Structure 1
Amino acid sequence: MTRIVQIVPFIGPGTGVAGVAWHLEQELRALGATVEQFTFDSARRRRMVPWPRNTILARIRGGWRMIWFSMVGTRRAKRFLAERPDAISICHNNVVAGDVYVNHGVLLASMRARGRSPWRIYRNPVHLFIYLRDRIRYRGHAHRVAVCLSEGDADDLRATYGPIGPRIEVIPNGVDLDRFRPPTAKERTSARAEFGLGGDERVGVFVGHEFSRKGLSFAIRGLATAPSTLLMVIGGNDDIIAESHAEAIEHGVGDRVLFLGPRANLPDLLAACDYFVFPSAYEANALVVLEALAAGLPVIATPVGFAPEIVRDGVNGYLVERDPEAVGERMEELATIDDEAFAALSRGARASAEPYGWREVARRYLALAEQLLAERSTAPADRATG
């Protein structure tokens, strides 16, 4: 039986890194592996009390936590792993230890994609710390394998850090195919009734908390050339929602944008919508793209992250430039095509997501772990723990 340790600051159902690690844990166990966790709470040996999000103190505390887990957590994780010499370790964030490191994004690549100058990047001491920490991670031999979530993610990694010490494997994130699925006619009618929508309106949906990086402005301004569609916006906080609402009013489309704020019931909300729009500047993978496709929503996305590897023009959506007119033209196209053509796109969306269920993704991680175990058995003793 394969024994796996996942190293991750926090783990639990939901979104982000914590959700990815949680899904992998469930599926790896279902495949017969033994799975343990090493988390921030494990390293501190007590539970972290949650603070309110989106406050200055919470951001300061988050920066301290990241640095602490990167430094002290690394030492304690190495001791934890030394006590489990038969385990393969999968590290998801911060700690510089483990056989496998899953790269959930490259900070400097993200900032460059948004046009940030080098000075703006390096003047932030937290950003500088992350760059130096990850230069050690990627240029050295702290890990045996670096898993990237897309081919584009692997390219960004090489462009940022140069020659990479660990070998690179590409394993995309997965999607919960039972939770995210095309709605029944009854579910769709019920979901749309909550917002006063009938059966004829075509509704696009944007999901994300970072409106700027993920390109909400391009979708809002695109509505000017997409008069036949509405836009639902999920995520954000009070400040950026207010800014985006003001932008919608400025461009004369304020009455066609509905801001819902953060919501937990994403599948129910997707059931009320017709297509997904995501003009992001940078993504390592963009799990939400897979979730939308699994829910049967054609996707309009920029060619970043996993999108260019799964979105096919006219089959399950469209790839577009990060330009309001280009985004708007595709939004209008999806709002006005006939029902039969739209149904074909919806079927194509679901079909394209089905190979990426979490069970299949977990199989790829398990196969990698078994390969590393086999390699370890013939490696020198001082390399056995990575």
Structure 2
Amino acid sequence: MTRIVQIVPYMGPGTGVAGVAFHLDQQLRALGADVERFTFIDAQRRRGTRRWPRGKMFARIRGGWDMVWFSTIGTRRAGEFLANRPDAITITHNNVLVGDIYVNHGLLLASMRARGRSFWGIYRNPVHVFIYLRDRIRYRGRTHRAVVCLSESDAADLRATYGAVRPKIAVIPNGVDLDLFRPPTPDERDAARAELKLGTEERVAVFVGHEFSRKGLSFAIQGLSHAPSVLLLVIGGNDDIIAEAHAEAKEHGVGDRVLFLGPRRPPVPFLHASDFFVLPSAYEANALVVLEALAAGLPAIVTPVGFAPEAVVDGVNGFLVERDARAVGERMEQLANLDDAELAAWSRRARESVESYGWRGIAQRYLELAEQLQAERERGVPGHPVAKAGG
């Protein structure tokens, strides 16, 4: 039986890194692996509690402090934890600098460059400098034996950012919960729309994301000027950026066609109320939400970043567009003008396109990589570059 430890700041159902680790935990167990976890909470058990003042500024400071703490003290405590499990293969998600496999959930510097940030705009923040130096050690040194990138473009960004990456690189995308994210029944769709006070005739686009700027919400909002038949649901954000986006929608004369719903988990009812999905993002390592939308039967209008070009076939289960309001809007209007039978055909193709990305199959690929590293360890063979793991 393969023994696996996952190191992750937090683990739990939902989206993001915590959700990825949670699904892997469940499915690796189902595949027969002996799985443990080491989280920020586990590392913190010997740490004195610190009371932080309330407020958004202090919340950001605390987030940065916790990241630095888990990267440094957490690394030492994770190493102590692993020392008692010498036979385990470790999968590390974020921050900690130990583990056989590191899962690259995104590159801060690549993300900021994609948004047009200058060198000074990136490095004037000491936290960004810390992350760059930490991850240079991670990728150029002997910390890990393998790095999992979530897409081919993510692997290319990694090499472009850090040069010669010493660990072997495996490309394994995120998975999707095909039972939770599925096309709605007619009754589920009607109930979801009734909850939002929507009629049966409106064509509804949905945007899901917390970082409105990076995720390209402005292009979707301004795109409504070129998509007069479309209503836009916006899931995510916080009070400040929602207020800014609402002001932008009113400025462009589309305020009455944008409904801001704030953070909602899970987003399933809102996907059920919608006809298609839009995400004109500047940068993604994978964009799990794209897989979730497709699994829910929503054609996706997305930019060709991250895993999107590998999941979306232009004109088949969605559209690949530039970060341009007219381009986004015209594709939204094109889907809005389809009749019900045509839109249903797009929905079927969207669902079919991701049915091979269930979490069980993705976990199997991680298990195969772990078993490969275990065999190399037993033979005393050093790591060597590979392009992919598990197909």
Paired position in structure 2 for 1:19: 19
* SS across alignment from 1:377: helix
* SS across alignment from 1:204: strand
Paired position in structure 1 for 2:291: 290
Deviations 1:249-296 (A, max 9, x none): 110101100000111131111100000000000000000000000000
Paired position in structure 2 for 1:333: 334
Instruction: Give me the whole-angstrom Cα distance separating, in 1, the residues matched to 2:173 and 2:126.
Output: 31
* SS across alignment from 1:283: coil
Paired position in structure 2 for 1:34: 34
Instruction: Give me the whole-angstrom Cα distance separating, in 2, the residues matched to 1:56 and 1:104.
Output: 25
CA contact (8 A) 2:152 2:307 kept: yes
Report the CA distance between 1:112 and its aligned residue.
0.2
CA contact (8 A) 2:14 2:266 kept: no
* SS across alignment from 2:103: strand
Paired position in structure 1 for 2:387: none
Instruction: Give me the whole-angstrom Cα distance separating, in 2, the residues matched to 1:52 and 1:342.
Output: 51
Q: Which moved more, 1:68-77 or 1:49-58?
A: 49-58
Deviations 1:288-321 (A, max 9, x none): 0000000000000000010000101121100000
- Identity value in percent: 74
Instruction: Give me the whole-angstrom Cα distance separating, in 2, the residues matched to 1:294 and 1:52.
Output: 42
Report the CA distance between 1:380 and its aligned residue.
6.6
Deviations 1:360-384 (A, max 9, x none): 1100001111111111111179xxx
**Relative to 1, partners in 2 of residues 1:215 and 1:53: Cα closer, same or farther, differing over 3 Å?**
farther
Instruction: Give me the whole-angstrom Cα distance separating, in 2, the residues matched to 1:347 and 1:59.
Output: 42
Report the CA distance between 1:138 and its aligned residue.
0.2
Instruction: Give me the whole-angstrom Cα distance separating, in 2, the residues matched to 1:297 and 1:328.
Output: 16
Displaced runs of 4+ in structure 1, greater than 3 A? 46-54
Q: Which amino acid aligns with 2:36?
A: E
Report the CA distance between 1:52 and its aligned residue.
10
Paired position in structure 2 for 1:5: 5
Report the CA distance between 1:343 and its aligned residue.
1.3
Paired position in structure 2 for 1:74: 75
Instruction: Give me the whole-angstrom Cα distance separating, in 1, the residues matched to 2:196 and 2:74.
Output: 46
Alignment of 1:200-215 (within 5 A): 200-215=201-216
Report the CA distance between 1:198 and its aligned residue.
1.9
CA contact (8 A) 2:225 2:254 kept: yes
Paired position in structure 1 for 2:108: 107
**Relative to 1, partners in 2 of residues 1:54 and 1:235: Cα closer, same or farther, differing over 3 Å?**
farther
Q: Can you give the 5+ residue segments of structure 1 that lack an aligned partner in the other structure?
A: 382-386
Alignment of 1:84-233 (within 5 A): 84-233=85-234
Q: How many residues align?
A: 381
Q: Which amino acid aligns with 1:287?
A: L
Report the CA distance between 1:53 and its aligned residue.
9.5
Paired position in structure 1 for 2:379: 378
* SS across alignment from 2:232: strand
CA contact (8 A) 1:216 1:278 kept: yes
CA contact (8 A) 1:314 1:345 kept: no
* SS across alignment from 2:20: helix
TM-score, normalised by the number of residues in structure 2: 0.95
Paired position in structure 2 for 1:265: 266
Instruction: Give me the whole-angstrom Cα distance separating, in 1, the residues matched to 2:128 and 2:4.
Output: 31
Instruction: Give me the whole-angstrom Cα distance separating, in 2, the residues matched to 1:270 and 1:49.
Output: 40
Instruction: Give me the whole-angstrom Cα distance separating, in 2, the residues matched to 1:173 and 1:51.
Output: 34
Instruction: Give me the whole-angstrom Cα distance separating, in 2, the residues matched to 1:380 and 1:205.
Output: 49
Q: Which amino acid aligns with 2:251?
A: E
Q: Tell me, yes or no, if structure 1 residue 363 matches structure 2 residue 364.
A: yes
Paired position in structure 2 for 1:384: none
Instruction: Give me the whole-angstrom Cα distance separating, in 2, the residues matched to 1:247 and 1:52.
Output: 32
Paired position in structure 2 for 1:248: 249
Paired position in structure 2 for 1:350: 351
CA contact (8 A) 2:231 2:257 kept: yes
Deviations 1:45-93 (A, max 9, x none): 2698998998211111111111111111111212211211111000001
**Relative to 1, partners in 2 of residues 1:132 and 1:318: Cα closer, same or farther, differing over 3 Å?**
same
Q: Can you give the 5+ residue segments of structure 2 that lack an aligned partner in the other structure?
A: 383-391
Q: Which amino acid aligns with 1:111?
A: M
Report the CA distance between 1:338 and its aligned residue.
2.2
Q: Which amino acid aligns with 1:351?
A: E
Q: Which amino acid aligns with 2:231?
A: L
**Relative to 1, partners in 2 of residues 1:272 and 1:125: Cα closer, same or farther, differing over 3 Å?**
same
Report the CA distance between 1:340 and its aligned residue.
2.3
Q: Tell me, yes or no, if structure 1 residue 61 matches structure 2 residue 62.
A: yes
Instruction: Give me the whole-angstrom Cα distance separating, in 2, the residues matched to 1:10 and 1:103.
Output: 16
CA contact (8 A) 2:149 2:172 kept: yes
Instruction: Give me the whole-angstrom Cα distance separating, in 2, the residues matched to 1:295 and 1:218.
Output: 23
